[in-house]
Structures are given as C-alpha cells and as structure tokens.
A and B are shown apart, each in its own frame.
Chain A
Amino acid sequence: MFHSIDVKTLLPVGAENSAAGLDSTRPKDKRDLVFVNMGPSHPATHGTLRALCALDGETIVAAVTEMGYLHRGFEKDCEVHTFQQVIPYTDRLNYVSAIMNNVGFCKAVERMLGVKVPERAIYIRVITSELNRIIDHLVCAGANLVDMGALTNFWYTFNVREKVYDILEKLCGARLTSSYTRLGGLSRDVYPAFGDEVRAVLREVQRSVEDVMKLIAKNRIFLDRAKGVCVVSKERALAYGWTGPTLRACGVEYDLRKAEPYYHYEDFKFEVPVGTRGDVYDRVLLRFYEVEESIKIIDQALKKLPKGPVITGDKRVALPPKQQTYGNIEGLMNHFKIIMHGICPEPGEIYDSTEAANGELGFYVIADGGKNPYRVKCRPPCFMNFAAFHEMIEGAMIADAVANLGSINIIAGELDR
C-alpha cells in the first residue's frame, strides 16, 4: 500500500500554483526560457485556441493567449438576416448544447415582441435545455478526463451522450444543429414516446455518472492532476465576469435559474452545487453534480408537462397551419407576410440572458422596426473564462494547462463567434 503522501508538499511550492520552481532564489533570466506554442491546432486544445507559453524547465512562467481562429462574423451575419433566420446561426455558437442557444436568442426576441410562449413549449424548452446541459457537461468532463489520460471515462460519458442525441434527432431531425425553437414556441411537438425515452436515458446518465465517479473519486492520478491545480479565487473570477460552473466552483453561489428565475425554474426543486477551492477538481466534479440536478429538473418537468399547442397563435410571429395556408386567402397572406416581410419587433434595445451550460449566455438585440435585427451582440460565457486562461496557467506545468483548459470548457464556436 502506498502512503497518501502529497508529493507536492515536499517541494517548495510557489505561492499561487502547484508546480514548483527548482530554486526560487535563482535570478530571473530571459535566456533560460523556452517558448512553446500550444495550439492553435493541437489535440488538447479541443478547437483552435492558442497559448504562447514561456517555459522555465517544465513550468510556465508567462503565457499569452490568442483567439479568433473560428471567428466567422456571426454578429455581422445577423444584421443581414431576418430574426427567424438567425436561429440556425445560434446553433453554431455553443454547438455542444445548441438548443440552449436557440432558447436564449428566442427568449430575448420574444420579450421584445411581447409574445406569450405557450406553457407546453416552455416546459419542453426546459426539458430539452436540461438535456443539453447534461450532454454539455458530459462532453466537457469526459474530454477533460481524456486529457488527463483517463480514456475509459470518455466512453462512459460519450456512450450516453449518443443516446441523448438519438432522442434529439427524433425530436428535431438533427443531432448537433437542432434549430428546435421558433419565435413564439417550438418547431414541433414532442413525439409520443418522448417522455419514456427521456426517463430511460436519464437512468443511463445516472449510471454513467456513477461509473465515472467510481473511476475517479479515489483515483490517485486524477486527484494529483486536479486538486490544487490552476486555482482561481472568488475575487479574480468575479473580476473576469465568470458565470456558470466555473464561477460556482470558486464558491460563489450564482445561478440565473435561481437568481433571476425564468421558465418556472423557481417551481422546480433542485440544488445549486458550489465548490470551495476553485481548482480543476472542483470544476470537474461540480459538473457531475449539476448533471444530477438536471436529471431532477427534467423528471419534474416531464410530470408537469401540460397539454396544448407548442407555438403561439399570435399571427405576427407564428406561421398558420398548412391547411390554412393552402385552404384560404387569409392563411396564405399570413404565411406570405411572415416569410417575405418578416417578423418586425418595435424599435428598441434589449439584453436578455439565460443560464446555459457554460454560464450566462446573453443576447443584446437592437431592433429598428425592420425584419432584420439592427445589431446582435452575443455574450458567450466562455469568453470570460478564456480571458483569464493565461493568468491561470502561469506557475503551472504544461500538463496542468491541458487539464485546466478542459475544465473551463472553451467552445470555440461561441468564443470566437
């Protein structure tokens, strides 16, 4: 049996991070450093991100990050498309949990329009959003564990993710780019066996979380790689505008579903897990706890799921049923108006946000009375996380930087827009 000696306590640990310098009294000389680019195209960066690291031995003493490799002008594109046409673009922001982006954008525009979304649509939005949160967290944690060499967890989390995607595919015809919401509701109702299939998949999710926990909870390698690595204080996290799991891992209990409830989140019983140290360990574990809370929410929402339409009857925003379009002139004109003239909110500016898998996903939308948004600004939650990345890895080792990058879940699609 090994004694549980923490090797790091034997070394002169730097004040802020785990990796130890060989001799802290040695004068700092630039000629001792080696400069290494991590990324932009590297398996461990999970997307095109770049960090230029100055290394002293294996320790990163200074780092500079660069983003924008996946910048494709989302915000400019929004300005030349109608409000409805923006919805498929939002799929490509955080493509790991696309429905949450659909919901975030539609919720902002619906508030501008003053449209009331039917109750059934709201509950289905909650269910599908929480399903997306589950797979987002499983992808993040699974991939992160692979980066630390724990490949088996990846199969456990990705297997069940495939099964969630099977449900989403039946629901909206697409696995990744769902475009499931419409202004005023949803593109279609759920299929008859939806509830049973979701419950069945949730049992598998629960099992996969338990399996992974069995593999990592007492795993010496994982604990050494994650505990006390790349610690972020509460104060720094707030200064960087962190939200979501990364902020909660630092010990700040802030979740928009509780702080500014929307979509009846105040009626669901669920906890907001909070970390204590703000290290890689907290950020990984917290996601598994959140998955379990999402399971509870979905379970309650399925029980409460009301009957009724899934899209508003408001003729300004919802297409008429096809019998109307092809059967009478009013329906045809209604259809024509919405397709050709678009949906035109009153001039105004709105900021609206939802709690997406990564944190506060916000949309600042400006309408000028026309069919296209005048300006859309997306607030991607992982933008704030990546802004702090260089600070987090300074003092750590390259291997820590890899573990850390996975734990803050940077999705290049929403980071670079």
Chain B
Amino acid sequence: METAILVEKLKARHPDAVLGSTDRYGTLEIQVDRNSIDRLVETLRADSELSFNMLVDLVSIDYSAYPGWTGDRFGLAYLLKSLALGHRLQLKVAVPEEEPVVPTLSHLFANANWLEREAFDQMGIRFTRHPNLKRLLNHHEFVGHPLRKDYPITRRQWLSANESLMDEMEVRLKEKGYE
C-alpha cells in the first residue's frame, strides 16, 4: 500500500492518534499519541488491507543526551510487519519523563509481554494493564534502569539472592485451574 494512503486511512480512523509521519531509510514511521497506541495497533492488525500480523520488535530510547533534542525524554519504536502483504511500518511514541506510562500491547501480541518487560527493565517505561511487569534481563534486586543515559556504565551492584519465580507460578497455576 502507498504510504500516503496508509497514513490517510489511519488518520480517518483515528484522527487524534496520528501526529505525523517520517521516512526512515525507506520505512514509513508514524508518530502516534501514546495513549492511543493500543487502539491504533489493533486497527493495523485487524484491517485486512493492512494486516500487520507481527510485532517484530519494541525499541526503547532515551533521548536526553541527543544533541539539540527538545521533545519528550523517552521514545518507543514499535516495529510491525505484515507477512501476507510484505510491508513494514514503524510507530513512534513519545513518552514524557514525568509520566513514563504507555498502554500495553500484550493482549494483541504474545511477544509484547516480554518486549515490554525488557523496555521496563532497561528504560523504566511502565505499561498499564500489563499482566506481569517485572524485570527481564536484569536481576530482580537491581536498582535503576541501565539503558537510561544517566546510568553510568561503570556502576556495579551487589546482587545476591535468586528469584523463586513462585509469584509467576501461582498465577500460571490459577490459569490452569489449580486452586
């Protein structure tokens, strides 16, 4: 689909959500209002002319050290792909430092669960209604968010006890019908 038509189509469906669009080395990027990201992705996935059926990756970015940056401190890039139609799209969400909260996509894509946990762990962005927003890559006793630009790369932390995982297990057992 032509990128201009795609943007127009999305604007017609979600007039408040689409803030603008850019070309990133041949891939269309659409800037999206952060509170509408879940509704917009739902449309992108369900509409048969768009059918973005794969969440390829979720990238969290801290722009606070970017030269000449005046926008919100954090950004999230959602990379989507349609296997049937073969096109790609990326959605960019600006996330303010004071309230780094974005609606979850974990009900739309199964891998969003872990991708959002990673973004929370590394960058400190929180996802509302996420079923299990815990750290993923770093140890559960770790303090801070290492990919933020103000986290010094040389800072070491003493992490001792391993995690029992029983909190997650209890939830899983309940889902499986064990009381």
- Out of A33, A348, A352, A384, name the residue touching B111 (CB < 8 Å): A384
Residue pair B110, A239 in contact (C-beta under 8 Å): yes
Q: Residues 50-83 of chain B: 1 if any A CB is under 8 Å from the residue's CB, otherwise 0?
A: 0001111101111001110000000001010001
Q: Is the CB of B163 within 8 A of A349?
A: no
Across the interface, A28 reaches (CB within 8 A) one of B29, B67, B179, namely: B179
**For the complex, is A211 an interface residue (Cβ under 8 Å from B)?**
no
A337-388 contacts to B (CB < 8 Å): 347-353, 360, 362, 364, 366, 368-369, 374-375, 377, 379, 383-384, 387-388
Is the CB of A417 closer than 8 A to any CB of chain B? yes
Known: A368-B66, A383-B114. A62 touches B169 (CB 8 A): yes
With A64-B172, A379-B57, A394-B176 already in contact, the answer to whether A52 and B79 are too (CB < 8 A) is no
A64–B172 Cα gap in the complex (Å)?
A: 8
Majority SS at the chain A contact face: mixed
**Stretch of A75-83, A202-210, A278-286 contacting B (4+ beta carbons < 8 Å):** A75-83
Q: Which residues of A contact B90 (CB under 8 A)?
A: 351
Question: Does A42 touch B at the CB level, under 8 Å?
Answer: no
A141 surroundings in chain B (CB, below 8 A): none
The 8 A CB mask of A158-193 against B (1 = contact, 0 = none) is 000000000000000000000000000000000000
- B137 to A417, Cβ gap below 8 A? yes
Please report the C-alpha to C-alpha distance between residue A33 and residue B178 in the assembled complex, in whole angstroms. Answer: 10
Contact with B along A388-410 (1 / 0, CB 8 A): 10100010000000000000000
CB contact under 8 A between A239 and B79, given known A28-B177, A71-B137: no
| Cα-based distance from A61 to B56 in the complex (angstroms) | 30
Does A303 have its Cβ within 8 Å of any Cβ on chain B?
Answer: no
State whether A259 touches B56 (Cβ < 8 A).
no
- Interface residues in A102-127 (C-beta closer than 8 Å to B): 111-112
Q: Contact residue range for chain A? A: 35 or more
Contact A54 B137 (CB under 8 A): no
| Cβ proximity bits B11-52 to A, threshold 8 Å, 1 near / 0 not | 000000000000011010100000000000000000000000
A75-B147 in contact given A67-B136, A368-B67 (Cβ < 8 Å): yes
What is the 8 Å Cβ interface bit string for chain A, positions 39-75, against chain B (1 contact, 0 not)?
0000000000010101000000111101110010101
Q: Check B138 against A71 for contact (C-beta < 8 Å).
A: yes
| Interface: B139 (CB within 8 A) | yes
A67 touches B137 (CB 8 A): yes
Confirm or deny: B153 has a beta carbon within 8 angstroms of a beta carbon on chain A: yes
- Asked if B110 contacts A387 (CB within 8 A), the reply is yes
- Least CB distance from A240 to B in Å reads 5
Indicate whether A349 sits within 8 Å of B173 (C-beta atoms), given known contacts A75-B147, A252-B83: no
A359 to B177, CA, bound (A): 35
> Apart from A364-B59, A364-B79, A377-B60, what are 19 other A-B pairs with CB-CB below 8 Å?
A28-B176, A28-B179, A33-B173, A35-B166, A35-B169, A52-B169, A61-B178, A62-B169, A67-B137, A68-B139, A76-B147, A76-B151, A348-B24, A353-B56, A364-B77, A368-B67, A379-B57, A387-B110, A387-B111
